[in-house]
């Protein structure tokens, strides 16, 4: 960067004649709906409670959601949590995926999220970071609509079984 040069004629311009030292950048984008009523889930218990509720998978993420009981903290606010397992990649890849989920939630939840609900957005390996952002937003909108209309899979219908363990082999009848 080249420093500014002094005036050639030796005179110093008065403050009124010189341009201001700092310029103002007006916000060029339209204002996004407020996230005043959107809180972030931080406690493990909140994530576990949401995991026992409904879920809806998309190509780029898994969305878990539940309506809070009236006596639970949070009031009418929308609460959202973000997580990625180590299957997504190293810390850099997980953080990038969570940043993308956070921005999609910031843009979509004020319009489609319901007051008094908790949502957990779970990033998927390679898909969350690689998917075009508009598709990521439409995936989140689709998942929220499915959660709210009741067609998402409830927790009780999920297949259960040991993770990562081979099924025991049974002896073939002879």
> Distance between CA atoms of 13 and 18, rounded to whole angstroms?
6
Residue at 159 is within a domain: no
Q: What is the CATH number of the domain that holds 54?
A: 3.30.230.10
- Supply the range of the domain harboring residue 118: 39-149
Q: Give me the sign of the Cα torsion angle 146, 119, 69, 47.
A: positive
Residue at 6 is within a domain: no
Reported confidence tier of residue 55, pLDDT bands at 50, 70, 90 = very high
Residue at 167 is within a domain: no
pLDDT tens digits, one per residue of 89-109: 999 999 999 999 999 999 999
Average pLDDT, the chain: 81
Please say if the pLDDT value at position 36 is more than 90.
Answer: no
Q: Give me the sign of the Cα torsion angle 25, 30, 36, 38.
A: negative
Enter the pTM of the model: 0.68
Residue at 23 is within a domain: no
Residue at 1 is within a domain: no
Please say if the pLDDT value at position 135 is more than 80.
Answer: yes
User: What is the domain count for the chain?
Assistant: 1
């Amino acid at each position: 960067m080249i420093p500014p040069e002094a005036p050639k004629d030796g005179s110093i311009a008065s403050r009124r004649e010189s341009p201001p030292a700092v310029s103002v950048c007006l916000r060029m984008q339209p204002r996004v709906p407020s996230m005043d009523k959107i809180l972030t889930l931080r406690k493990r218990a909140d994530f576990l409670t949401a995991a026992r509720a409904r879920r809806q998978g998309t190509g780029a993420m898994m969305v878990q959601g539940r309506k809070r009981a009236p006596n639970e903290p949070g009031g009418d606010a929308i609460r959202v949590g973000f997580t990625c397992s180590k299957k997504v990649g190293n810390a850099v890849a997980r953080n990038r995926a969570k940043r993308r989920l956070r921005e999609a939630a910031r843009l979509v939840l004020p319009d489609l999220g319901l007051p008094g609900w908790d949502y957990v957005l779970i990033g998927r390996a390679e898909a969350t970071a690689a998917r075009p952002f508009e598709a990521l937003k439409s995936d989140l909108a689709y998942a929220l609509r499915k959660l709210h209309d009741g067609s998402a899979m409830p927790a009780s219908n999920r297949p259960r079984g040991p993770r990562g363990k081979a099924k025991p082999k049974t002896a073939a009848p002879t």
